[in-house]
Structure 1
Amino acid sequence: MMNMMTSSPPRILVVDDDPDFAQLLGDYLGLHGCTVQAAQDEPQLQSAVTTFAPDLVLLDQRLGHVSGTDVLRGLRAVSDVPCIIVTGASETMDRIVNLEIGADDEMEKTITPREMLARIRSVLRRRRREGDAPAVEPARPSWHLDTERRVLRQPGGAVCALTNAEFETLQMLHAAKGNPVSRAELCRQVFGRPFRVGDRAVDTIVKNLRRKIEPEASDFVAIQAVRTFGYVFVGFP
């Protein structure tokens, strides 16, 4: 019996206008632990998607005069249920189109039963992993240092007003990527003069930056002092 790693037998919808083939396929899948229902055309397929709620659809590439590709387009408009296209060995099929519009796999009707089961198992397992994957949370608004326009934008897009010296200092600390920058280097680059003992210009700039960036009534520190050396940029709130 086929182990689909599910708590209930997988529901397979076989869509084929050849009732004999659909019956044979359904019997075989039933012997291997599947619950199978057949549909012969697109209206029956659309109805079964709601009433039968299949875990996977096996869709014939040719349903009378209707292309399985067109049927797949209609299916994808209402459901993302996994779908494997089944094609006759002599048919010419645009495989790229089917895959682009949402087919999960394809196989010829001449495929061996064992390989068919392997293909079905693989698609169901892959979809199950996707379903178990944690949802990706949307990125929350964040600060953005625009070095080209020389502005700092707050979450939401508003500009945080900075003086030229404040921007230069923040840009240097930010570019250091977590490495400390000395007061001497900041003083030389921002103010164009050598650092002297007792010079508090850099400290004043950093104090102003922290007041503008760090949330009030919070322990968060955006710029951390490195004793006797300088400062390191920790990150935006």
Structure 2
Amino acid sequence: MTEAPLIAILDDEPEIRRLLSAALQDAGFRTQSYGRATEFEAALRRIMPDACLIDLGLPDRDGLALVHRLATESGAAIIIISGRSQVQDRVTGLELGADDYIIKPFEPAEVVARIRARLRRPAQPQGRNGQKVGFAGWTADFDRYTLTSPEGVDAPLSHAEAEVLRMFTDNPRRLITRAQMLETLGGTAGDSFDRAMDVRISRLRTKLGEDPKNPRLIKTIYGAGYIFLAEID
């Protein structure tokens, strides 16, 4: 029997941790809660959460720096829960690798719904071998959140990067518009979503060794969207 997804909760307010834990456990998730970033980072050596709920106002660490580290080193979905409601805070969080941003105060049911949306993977296309996809000498492993180069070198994929790459490999040689990205990946339409997508695609291009001025695999069609030009093995 498959274990329920594990959700890590990092917030310095005990009542919020209790509220989120209760709502998520009632929804069938497993949870682990932490009040300080140091406790959470130590726990990451032992556990592999499927999603992390991160408060930015931590007593011992800058929450945004932690989000950035998780985005580059972990395959977990990252959802910021913060009292910071300025547009720039949301944009910065998404640019640093967060998958979603929820403003306090919040409804626990909304948090549960956002997590479910983030952990829901696209349907597996017919003929695809498990969660591994090959293209242009590269191999993407969506179970391990790794990208292996033609030379055999592994690089980690963040949850957000894996979502975007999976969308491309599921739709090779087809124009993908911003509207389709929004529908597939979820989020809120607007500048923050567009900038977050731009950052994720830029990171993917870097990991794929693309020339930013003349990318071979992920082409920008200005005013329309993107096309993934590789043949899928």
Q: TM-score, normalised by structure 1?
A: 0.49
Question: Corresponding residue for 1:81?
Answer: 76
Is the 8 Å Cα contact of residues 9 and 34 (structure 2) preserved in structure 1?
A: yes
Match of 1:9 among 4, 26, 35: 4
User: Following the alignment from structure 2 to structure 1, what is the Cα–Cα distance between the partners of residues 43 and 12?
Assistant: 15
The 5 Å alignment of 1:1-237 reads 7-64=2-59, 66-88=61-83, 94-126=89-121, 133-139=131-137
Deviations 1:48-85 (A, max 9, x none): 22312111000002112643211112323432311100
Distance verdict in 2 for CA 1:18–1:93, change over 3 Å? farther
User: Following the alignment from structure 2 to structure 1, what is the Cα–Cα distance between the partners of residues 59 and 97?
Assistant: 22
Aligned residue pairs total 135
Is the 8 Å Cα contact of residues 87 and 109 (structure 1) preserved in structure 2?
A: yes
Instruction: Return the index of the structure with the highest Cα Rg.
Output: 1
Unaligned 5+ segments in structure 1 are 1-5, 141-237
Moved over 3 A (4+): 89-93, 126-129
Amino acid at match of 2:134: V
User: Following the alignment from structure 1 to structure 2, what is the Cα–Cα distance between the partners of residues 67 and 8?
Assistant: 32
User: Following the alignment from structure 1 to structure 2, what is the Cα–Cα distance between the partners of residues 28 and 14?
Assistant: 12
Q: Which has the higher contact order (CA 8 A, sep 6+)?
A: 2
Unaligned 5+ segments in structure 2 are 125-129, 139-233
Task: Give % identity.
Answer: 31
Distance verdict in 2 for CA 1:77–1:24, change over 3 Å? same
Is the 8 Å Cα contact of residues 89 and 110 (structure 1) preserved in structure 2?
A: no
Distance verdict in 2 for CA 1:20–1:128, change over 3 Å? farther
What's the Cα RMSD here?
3.0
Question: Corresponding residue for 2:146?
Answer: none
How far did residue 93 of structure 1 move?
5.1
